[in-house]
Amino acid sequence: MAQKPSIPKGTRDFTPAEMARRNYIFDTIRTVFKLHGFQQIETPAMENLSTLMGKYGEEGDKLLFKILNSGDFLRGADPQLIQSAIAGDDSAKLAAKICEKGLRYDLTVPFARFVVMHRNDLSFPFKRFQIQPVWRADRPQKGRYREFYQCDADVIGSDSLINEIELLQLIDDVFSRLGIRITIKLNNRKVLAGIAELVGAPDKIVDITVAIDKIDKIGLDNVKAELGERGLSAEAIDRITPLITLSGSNAERLASLEEMLASSETGLKGVSELREVMAGTEALGLCADLELDVSLARGLNYYTGTIIEVKARDVEIGSITGGGRYDNLTGVFGLPGVSGVGISFGADRIYDVLNTLNLYPEGIEGAAKVMFTNFGPKEAARSLQIIKKLRESGIPAELYPDAAKMKKQMGRADSLGIPFVAIIGETELQNGTVTLKNMTTGEQSEISTEKLTEALG
């Protein structure tokens, strides 16, 4: 019995047309990474679970795809643990016994592991990029997949803010090339720490940023009410009111922030870092809008300085790129005190944005530039000779492999978007020529084979 084939939910096949579009994105990002001096690495899809577990929080641990040990994986396992698992309890504990390996969940933890394992062979600061898939056992939904690509660039081993300035240039360069208008939002973890000091409630920082983020939608009074509901004292709310209503240019916002955080050494350090990054960036010029946004609170668990987020201006979609500075990424693997800063491009969302705005350039499809029709053995043999020469000149060319009906052959060129069809029939064979048909205009003309390379070049 034949099976009706399917693929696991949350995963995707990519057809040639989709690959062409995806490669356009990856190639653009890769080109810019290289122009900025980043060097590529790759790590295995499988990591030891001891490397992955505990790095993404409890929820993250659950989302790891685990690989069953080979052979007799259950031999000698603890009977009680098995009884629990049959009852649906403590499944994770048994899983940890019968699975040693898991699929990588992101590129950051494998990168940290890589740096520690290869530290003696690396030149620091180490600027690496990595473009590989990651896997998460998330509930699949629109725009969220169980296998997706991340495109990361990190500088590790330097705490200079020049790295931040350079990464903002890199982001700007990528999206300029892709033709996507963006706003880069900037914040600093130390500013958020200063705010927490100000209100005397470090555990409320997420509540505060969530509330601030709503100012445009619900207005000041409602934001204040919400902060009260979330447990902030009236005094604390008063203290951060200037933060909620922060407005004006980036320079004005920085000045307000500085005044407000005057009593917090950490907070002021954050303001000073933001100022330096913004000044350096503005001196170099940027196509993107650059916006100080104190409600930006991504990666609070690991970012320690700059926080970066990129939004597309012309499409309603979540952040399409994000990043920040971390001071102790490799500490957990035994290499403390190494500061780094990195960004991650979300290829799937960028793909959605480009599709929505229809921003792909022409001619990325990647099929052959010319297809030769096939009238039979003699004509095919002659065609293959010419095709060989075309390929040597860098022109992608192919022969229809069967002497099928002409309509079928032309149909192939048409459906693949092959722009030219070359016809060698009896006449052309005798004349030493080829009839070249432009599939866009429909024009065709008989030319000498010597002229063909030129006509297709």
Lookup: tokens for 195? 């705010």
Using the CB atoms, write b or e for 364-373: b if 16+ within 10 Å: ebebbbbbbb
Does 160 participate in binding a second copy (rule CB under 8 A)? yes
Helices 189-199 and 234-244 sit at what angle, rounded to 10 degrees?
150
130 contacts 40 by C-beta, under 8 angstroms:
yes
Q: Which of 27, 35, 289, 356 binds a second copy (CB under 8 A)?
A: 35
Q: Which of 21, 26, 60, 77 binds a second copy (CB under 8 A)?
A: 77
- x/- mask, a second copy, residues 380-399, rule CB under 8 A, reads xx--xx--x--x--xxxxxx
Does 67 participate in binding a second copy (rule CB under 8 A)? yes
- x/- mask, a second copy, residues 351-370, rule CB under 8 A, reads ---------------xxx--
Using the CB atoms, write b or e for 177-198: b if 16+ within 10 Å: ebebebebbbbbbbbbbbbbbb
Lookup: tokens for 244? 């909620």
Does 2 participate in binding a second copy (rule CB under 8 A)? yes
267 contacts 195 by C-beta, under 8 angstroms:
yes
Q: Which of 284, 287, 359, 364 binds a second copy (CB under 8 A)?
A: 284
Residue that the structure tokens 């990325």 belong to: 364
Output the CA angle 370-374-375, nearest 5 degrees: 140
Does 6 participate in binding a second copy (rule CB under 8 A)? yes
Q: Which is nearer to a second copy, 318 or 336 (CB)?
A: 336
360 is in an annotated binding site: no
Q: Which is nearer to a second copy, 130 or 344 (CB)?
A: 130
Site for a second copy, residues 118 to 147, rule: CB under 8 A:
118, 121, 123, 125, 127-128, 133, 135, 137, 146-147
**Starting from the edge strand earliest in sequence, which strands make up the sheet with 420-423, in order?**
397-399, 370-372, 420-423, 433-438, 444-448
Q: Which of 376, 411, 432, 457 binds a second copy (CB under 8 A)?
A: 411
Does 425 participate in binding a second copy (rule CB under 8 A)? no
Q: Which of 3, 141, 301, 441 binds a second copy (CB under 8 A)?
A: 3
Smallest distance, a second copy to C-beta of residue 110, A: 8
Q: What is the DSSP code string of 183-199?
A: EEEEEEHHHHHHHHHHH
Site for a second copy, residues 162 to 221, rule: CB under 8 A:
162-163, 165-166, 169, 173
Does 27 participate in binding a second copy (rule CB under 8 A)? no
Lookup: tokens for 188? 């600093």
Q: Which is nearer to a second copy, 151 or 294 (CB)?
A: 151
Q: What is the rounded distance in angstroms from the CA atom of residue 311 to the CA atom of residue 319?
A: 5
Does 290 participate in binding a second copy (rule CB under 8 A)? no
Smallest distance, a second copy to C-beta of residue 100, A: 7
Q: Which is nearer to a second copy, 161 or 320 (CB)?
A: 161
Q: Which is nearer to a second copy, 284 or 359 (CB)?
A: 284
Sign, CA dihedral 233-237-238-240, equals positive
Q: Which is nearer to a second copy, 114 or 351 (CB)?
A: 114
221 is in an annotated binding site: no
Smallest distance, a second copy to C-beta of residue 117, A: 6
CA distances from 222 to 207, 228, 234, 296 (A): 14, 10, 14, 20
Q: What is the 3-state secondary structure (H, E, C) of 108-139?
A: HHHHHHHHHHCHHHCCCCEEEEEEEEEECCCC
Which of 314, 363, 341, 365 has its CA nearest to residue 175? 314
- Binding-site residues, in ranges, read 106-108, 136, 150, 154, 298, 302-303
Please state the residue numbers annotated as binding site for L-histidine: 106-108, 136, 150, 154, 298, 302-303
